[in-house]
Structure 1
Amino acid sequence: MSQENRLEKTTRINLLFDFYEPLLTDKQQMFLKYYFHDDYSLGEIAAEFSISRQAVYEHIKRAEQVLEMYEEKLGLMDKHYRRSRELDKLKQQLQESDLNDKQAGAVMNVIEQLEAIDRMD
């Protein structure tokens, strides 16, 4: 796997982890954190938990599959990014609109509240 593909995969897993961490087992959370967040090697994780590298690899692969399954079924990450894009479009349209400052401020306030709600989810 190329360095670029590895980075894309790591970024995707970290994002999925942000959305679905509470749905993973403690072991899945721990192994993913060590491997993707803290950049431990399979060997380092195996030594830490006194298990084989193959066992670590299988735990991580299974956790990745679970994250992808949750995203496929729930789509939280996809929905988040679609909402973000639409809110950005609204901001752009607001800047290009003929609303007075007071009206524009009120609309921007609603947009910011929606963004805040989205960050809390």
Structure 2
Amino acid sequence: MVKHASEQEMLAKTTRMNLLFDWYGSLLTERQRTYMQYYFHDDYSLSEIAAEFAVSRQAVYDQLKRTEAILEDYEDKLGLLSRHEQRQRTIHEMREIARQLSDEQRTAIERLLMQLEEVDRT
């Protein structure tokens, strides 16, 4: 029996691939970037991508699977996305704690947290 991924699982996978693509996309080939962009960001079907590049649907599928594996491998080795997500959770927790402080202390902490977020974006 073939198990089909739920809509929620597909959305989670798409979100993860887009995040990994944001972090590591510049390390991919032009074709890999284009296929990922079309499939995960622009919501093209395998058939639409195949027609656009005059290749088989299977070739597109294989390229996407290889590229997904490459992105996951980069994350396993470098961990940029997981570190970013951990920093964001920590910043959120710090903001929650800062709500209990005086206005002056909260303003000072908020300024520092904004600096951390700015560093994380660059």
Query: What TM-score do you get using the length of structure 1 for normalisation?
Result: 0.91
Q: 1:7 to 1:103 in 2, by over 3 A?
A: closer
Runs of 4+ displaced beyond 4 Å: none
CA deviation profile, 1:56-83 (whole Å, cap 9, x unmatched): 0111001100010011111111101100
For 2:39, the equivalent position in structure 1 comes to 35
Any stretches of 5+ residues in structure 1 without a counterpart?
none
1:96 CA displacement: 1.1
Q: In structure 1, how many angstroms separate the alpha carbons of the residues matched to 2:58 and 2:103?
A: 61
What amino acid is aligned across from residue 103 of structure 1 in structure 2?
A: Q
Q: Which residue identity lines up with residue 66 of structure 1 in the other structure?
A: I
| Cα RMSD after superposing both structures | 1.1
Aligned match of 2:98: 94
- Could you tell me how far apart the structure 2 residues matched to 1:92 and 1:4 are? 29
Q: Which runs of 5+ in 2 are unaligned?
A: none
Distance across 2 between alignment mates of 1:26 and 1:13:
16
Is 2:48 the partner of 1:44?
yes
Aligned length: 118
Query: Relative to 1, partners in 2 of residues 1:103 and 1:40: Cα closer, same or farther, differing over 3 Å?
Result: same
The match for 1:60 among 61, 64, 69 is 64
Query: Aligned residues: percent identity?
Result: 50
**Residue in 2 aligned with 1:109?**
111
Q: Separation in 2 of the partners of 1:104 and 1:43?
A: 53
Q: What are the within-5 Å matches in structure 2 for residues 77-92 of structure 1?
A: 77-92=81-96
Hey, what does 2:120 align to over in structure 1?
Answer: 118
- Quote the residue 1:69 is aligned against: 73
